[in-house]
Structure 1
Amino acid sequence: MRWTTVVAILLGLMAVPVPGLAAQVGFEVVRIPNGAQPPLTAGIWYPTDAPATSHSVGELTQVVAPDAPLAGDRLPLVVLSHGGGGWYGGHYDTALALAHAGFVAAAVSHAGDTVDDQSGVLQLWRRPEQLHRLIDYMLDTWHGHERLDGTRIGAFGFSNGGFTVLVAAGGVPDLSTIAPFCEVHAGQDLCEALRHAGVDLRFAADVPARAWVHDPRIRAAVVAAPSFGFAFGRAGLCGVSVPVQLWSAADDRHQPHPYYDEPVRDDLPRAPDYHLVADAGHYDFLPPCDARLSRMRPALCNSLPGFDRAAFHDRFNADVVRFFRTMLP
């Protein structure tokens, strides 16, 4: 959908290594079986002792060691879920920061809700199942699976990915709330985008609770600007018992307050580690854009005057790493 189209040209921010931990990051792209559907594509970042150099993945440039040997044992795993219209590399800077800190970070491109496949934009129940398949693959099939610690698994998600992670951690949304919400708030960017995309908001009204796949292996979650936060409610979030770090952009005009982040903050059974980022917009949770992408996608790339997205991401990634290191000891 146009409001979350993440073009794969994200350049610029390289994660800062954590002293005393992995100096370099290995990287690979894998294909994951997805039942009767085509395989899922995922990117995996991991600590390595091999030398890293600048490499391209699609139109993304990052400093990694492709297909390098994995370094370490009993490594914690963090899975990442991108926003609507994104791809597995949409939060590459956070994945790099996690890998530098000794985590394995794995991000899946959510089939039906990617930059080049919008066939299932409101079939939100597909996303948690795909995240579940990613965890299965990492623990059972990935070449380094025996060196992962299955008791130390976290999940990170932004926008639609934040919604995905809340479901995977035990949340049960009620999608029948979307149509009446958009009737009342028709001018909101989210509702305008759904209408522009020709999405029938009523078709998902009868999604049964059993359609939402939970993954009890997830022990901690970082959620940034979650979409459809109003669709959960206290009852829908009562099953989320893991610690949550919740991020909110104070100037989020795509998902304006108080319908998205605040209901999640207020209705979680366990108070989250809540961060309200002054002057940040919705897309400031994406890595900084290079000059070319800024020209092509100003709505995606432009921040408020004086807001330094690169400096924010240094702090943001450090806080995300710190949270997971604390909650996944």
Structure 2
Amino acid sequence: MLATVGAAAAPVGLAAVRWQDPARAAWGVDGPRPVAALLWYPAADGAAEQDWQVPPFEPLPVAVGAAPAPGRRPLVLLSHGTGGSAASLGWLARELAAAGYLVAALNHHGNTAAEPEARLEGFVAWWERPLDLRVAIDRLLADPDWGPRIDAGRIGVAGFSLGGLTALASAGAQPRWAAWSAACAAAPATPGCALPPEAVARWTWADVDALRRSEGFAPSLARADAELHDARVRAVFAIAPAMAAALAHAPLAVPVEIVVGEADDQVDLADLRAWDQVPSVSVERLPGVTHYAFLMGCGLRGRLFAAAICRDPPGVDRARLHADTAARARRFFDRELAPR
């Protein structure tokens, strides 16, 4: 039973899990691809929450390592944006967990601030991300501790920016490498065709072209048009999905809700209009909201030294935006992941 409005929310627990995918190689080192996640969940009564800090973001109250509250719960997987981390969407993960969900927030290998080194492969090979979600679902359902706590018929995905594309891909909005390449060759100034801000300080398009031709990248490139739809996913909530030009606007088998800011300069807002015509997809546009407003709120040091991701334009209240968006996501998942 999910928490209801007006009821006292359970304390939220936090645990780290780490798996490997032997079918795929890690970037730059020998061995299988790591698949890591933070699990947010309703903790048992009496669990003590303390501030959990991941600079430059504001702390969140969680009970690290606490025992989970009893019961089987719907599962929501969460995919971060380019160069981000599971922590960067902690505002959404915590609110869903407080409402009764088990939330598995991924750290996508090679493309996450949670690792000591970013890899160009991780920025380019977006098709590896939905495969991470698939592995996470497999491992969680098979886990002797977490598996019995999950209602396998009630699984959703949410994601921000490139994580939004990841979420849509898991619902059957198949990204196509060739289609994206052709679209960007015709209109290179389109948002989603340029290197993201997180990559331009490290690499150029010449580096990307060299990577595409490299022998070591070939196994991943061969998966670029692999089928990414996961039939276990029943609903998708996409926040400011990037690289929409890579997606086919085909009817989807599950309901999708998209939330995007009208002042977002990293999302192809014109392309998103095509989603208005797709059955089972709804798009909500928020006036004045920019791309990074959907990241965790920042402390003073973050606002001073990480202004690009921490400062919002006048009139945008990030805390209110997060509260409203988390409530919207909860209503969406409460409806679409309701017991059948």
Q: TM-score, normalised by structure 2?
A: 0.82
CA distance in 1, matches of 2:309, 2:187: 22
Query: In the alignment, what sits opposite 1:258?
Result: 270
CA distance in 2, matches of 1:283, 1:40: 25
How far off is 1:156 after superposition?
Answer: 0.3
Compared CA separation, residues 170 and 176, structure 1 to 2 (3 A): same
Q: 1:26 aligns with which of 13, 16, 22?
A: 13
Letter in 2 for 1:232: L
How far off is 1:164 after superposition?
Answer: 0.7
Letter in 1 for 2:76: V
Query: In the alignment, what sits opposite 2:184?
Result: 182
Q: 1:53 aligns with which of 23, 44, 49?
A: 49
Tell which deviates more after alignment, 317-326 or 118-127. 118-127
1:229-267 Cα distance to aligned partner (Å, 9 max, x none): 112233xx33x21011111110011224213x333443x
Contact 2:52–2:60 (Cα < 8 Å) also in 1:
yes
Q: How does 1:64-75 map to 2 (within 5 A)?
A: 64-75=62-73
Compared CA separation, residues 271 and 242, structure 1 to 2 (3 A): closer
Q: Which runs of 4+ in 1 moved over 6 A?
A: none
Letter in 2 for 1:193: L
How far off is 1:311 after superposition?
Answer: 0.9
Contact 1:178–1:201 (Cα < 8 Å) also in 2:
no
Query: In the alignment, what sits opposite 1:293?
Result: 302
Compared CA separation, residues 198 and 17, structure 1 to 2 (3 A): farther
Compared CA separation, residues 39 and 207, structure 1 to 2 (3 A): closer
Contact 1:76–1:328 (Cα < 8 Å) also in 2:
yes
CA distance in 1, matches of 2:189, 2:305: 25
CA distance in 1, matches of 2:268, 2:34: 35
1:304 and 2:319 equivalent? no
CA distance in 1, matches of 2:109, 2:4: 32
Compared CA separation, residues 218 and 276, structure 1 to 2 (3 A): same
CA distance in 2, matches of 1:207, 1:128: 15
How far off is 1:58 after superposition?
Answer: 4.6
* Identity over aligned pairs, percent: 31
Contact 1:41–1:88 (Cα < 8 Å) also in 2:
no
Q: 1:242 aligns with which of 223, 233, 254?
A: 254
1:112-153 Cα distance to aligned partner (Å, 9 max, x none): 211242332111111011011111122111622102100011
Letter in 2 for 1:168: S
Contact 1:23–1:100 (Cα < 8 Å) also in 2:
yes
RMSD of Structure 2 on Structure 1 (CA): 2.6
Compared CA separation, residues 208 and 221, structure 1 to 2 (3 A): same
Letter in 1 for 2:18: R
How far off is 1:208 after superposition?
Answer: 6.0
Tell which deviates more after alignment, 129-138 or 271-280. 271-280
Q: TM-score, normalised by structure 1?
A: 0.85
1:185-235 Cα distance to aligned partner (Å, 9 max, x none): 44456444269422436939x75675233211110110111111112233x
Contact 1:230–1:264 (Cα < 8 Å) also in 2:
no
Q: How does 1:149-298 map to 2 (within 5 A)?
A: 149-187=151-189, 190-193=192-195, 196=200, 197-199=203-205, 200=208, 203=212, 211-234=226-249, 237-238=250-251, 240-259=252-271, 261-266=272-277, 268=278, 270-298=279-307
CA distance in 2, matches of 1:289, 1:143: 34
1:24-56 Cα distance to aligned partner (Å, 9 max, x none): 101111111222424322100000123332243
Give the 3-state SS of the residue equivalent to 2:168 in structure 1: helix
Compared CA separation, residues 301 and 58, structure 1 to 2 (3 A): closer
CA distance in 2, matches of 1:187, 1:328: 38
CA distance in 2, matches of 1:183, 1:303: 32
